[in-house]
Structure 1
Amino acid sequence: MKPLWSRRPESPPDTAGLRLYAIGDVHGRFDLLTELLRRIERDASVRPAAETRLVMLGDYIDRGPQSREVCELLHALSLEGRAICLRGNHDQTLLDVLDGDHEALRFWLDYGGDATLRSWGVPEDAIEQGCRSVAEAERLAAALRDRMAPAIVDWLRGLPACHVQGSYLFVHAGIRPGVPLDRQEEADLLWIRQPFLASEARHPWKVVHGHSVTDDVDHRPNRIGIDTGAYRTGVLTALGLERDGCWTLRTGGA
């Protein structure tokens, strides 16, 4: 059984010696991701030299037109040791579809999965036919399986659900307040909104998350939300973290 987190916590109140750039939900917007990475590179170049990592908060696919390109780039950055990539609920749903979950496929097509199918070259007529029957659902899932590189599928399967660095917990959706990290349900880490968003409880770490779209960075005493709805707004946000300071970078609106 794979762990839900990628490392054990270290002593607060900082990033344990690293400069981190956390990036919110990309959702197939390869154009915005590459633009934001250029801005991060420029930002890092004018700061004192430091070991730097990207922390990607999940939901790399769906809705936007270039899910395949996003996954291929992040897979490469992961192999180079430049990015820590976490799993989001959309990424998990894709894995469920590949594993033959026909109900997940029906749900997925209503929430942007059709864009992911197109990005991997699944024929338009197969997408439009949908999954009205079990046979149609299996044909559609098989068409996607045939087109996805095994290395990308294996990479997605191996993504942790959260990552702890210093005094920060990075996760796609959030946590269930009051529950120790090693007892959190994976479904909450990928899907939760309430009671996490409304909670004013002090967590053991400051939680940096995506999943819940806000117009601007949602900076609270116990959490920081950085999903600015890139797929529809054109604004993809990065949160820079170093020692006890933070700053934001973003792409321009559409």
Structure 2
Amino acid sequence: MRSLTCNHWVIGDVHGCYQPLQRLLNALPKKDHVVFCGDVINRGPDSPSTMQLVWSLVMAGRATWLRGNHEQAFLQSRSDPDLTNPNPWLTRLHQLPTVFCGQGWVATHAGFNCNGHPDLTIREPFWEHYDGSHGVVVIGHTPRPDVERHGRIVMVDTGAVYGGKLSAYCPETEAVVQVEGVQETAAAPRKRTASSLQARPC
């Protein structure tokens, strides 16, 4: 979905942080379109309410929810076709796209592989070898201390579920809006930096 009359805000991994998400949405312009960069679910304190809130925005045309590796894992763990009817979330999550295309930029959960296809778990091979063919790429997946730009890659997961911030990034203006995340609920993720990691062949 694209809009010619509004900006877009790409939100990093929410991971069930319902109250921070409410605060962040209240701080964003209501006419702008929100793109959730995947991993809306799991780890945090209230995934059910978070999923319902995000889905209601999708149904209202105000948001796009991209598939992350946690949504993918949820689907794979419930792959029995007989479960689809009793659980409407399986149908909904199956519908999630993996890429959102803007003007000169795209959002996806983690990056693209060597063949240019979205990869929901990729890290270093994308960071080290991205050739700019998709324009600016806005990703989540790897928590950072703050929103960071590395060449034509913007990383917007700022670890809300680990006691960091929940961030929204506007590709049109490069503005950033942030709110405090939840109290730390799990072991902090291993730190990674795009600049210090050794390049690996894709």
Output the TM-score relative to the length of structure 1: 0.65
Q: Indicate if the aligned counterparts of 2:160 and 2:180 stay in contact, CA closer than 8 A.
A: no
The CA distance in 2 between the partners of 1:163 and 1:154, in whole Å, is 20
Alignment of 1:160 onto 2:97: yes
Deviation, structure 1 residue 162: 0.8
Alignment of 1:171 onto 2:108: yes
Q: Which residue of 2 aligns with 1:75?
A: 55
The Cα offsets for residues 46-90 of structure 1, whole Å up to 9 and x where unpaired, read as xxxxx5200000101111011111111111110100001100000
The one of 113, 131, 153 equivalent to 1:223 is 153
Residues 74/225 of structure 1: CA separation in 2 closer, same or farther (3 Å cut): same
Q: Indicate if the aligned counterparts of 1:32 and 1:234 stay in contact, CA closer than 8 A.
A: no
Q: Which residue of 2 aligns with 1:192?
A: 122
What is the aligned residue count? 181
Q: Which residue of 1 aligns with 2:171?
A: 241
The CA distance in 1 between the partners of 2:48 and 2:97, in whole Å, is 20
The CA distance in 1 between the partners of 2:93 and 2:78, in whole Å, is 11
Q: Indicate the percent of aligned positions where both proteins have the same amino acid.
A: 31
The CA distance in 1 between the partners of 2:180 and 2:45, in whole Å, is 18
Which has more radius of gyration?
Answer: 1
Residues 234/221 of structure 1: CA separation in 2 closer, same or farther (3 Å cut): closer
Structure richer in helix, relative to its length: 1
The one of 23, 48, 60 equivalent to 2:11 is 23
Q: Indicate if the aligned counterparts of 2:105 and 2:171 stay in contact, CA closer than 8 A.
A: no
The one of 113, 138, 144 equivalent to 1:208 is 138
The Cα offsets for residues 176-198 of structure 1, whole Å up to 9 and x where unpaired, read as 25x34xxx1x5x2x110021122
Task: Classify the secondary structure of the residue corresponding to 1:72.
Answer: helix
Output the TM-score relative to the length of structure 2: 0.81
Residues 234/246 of structure 1: CA separation in 2 closer, same or farther (3 Å cut): same
Flag structure 2 segments of 5+ consecutive residues without an equivalent: 184-202
Task: Classify the secondary structure of the residue corresponding to 1:208.
Answer: strand
Q: Indicate if the aligned counterparts of 1:71 and 1:152 stay in contact, CA closer than 8 A.
A: no
Deviation, structure 1 residue 27: 0.5
The Cα offsets for residues 179-228 of structure 1, whole Å up to 9 and x where unpaired, read as 34xxx1x5x2x110021122363233100000011111111221100011
Q: Which residue of 1 aligns with 2:37?
A: 57
Flag structure 1 segments of 5+ consecutive residues without an equivalent: 1-5, 8-14, 46-50, 101-141
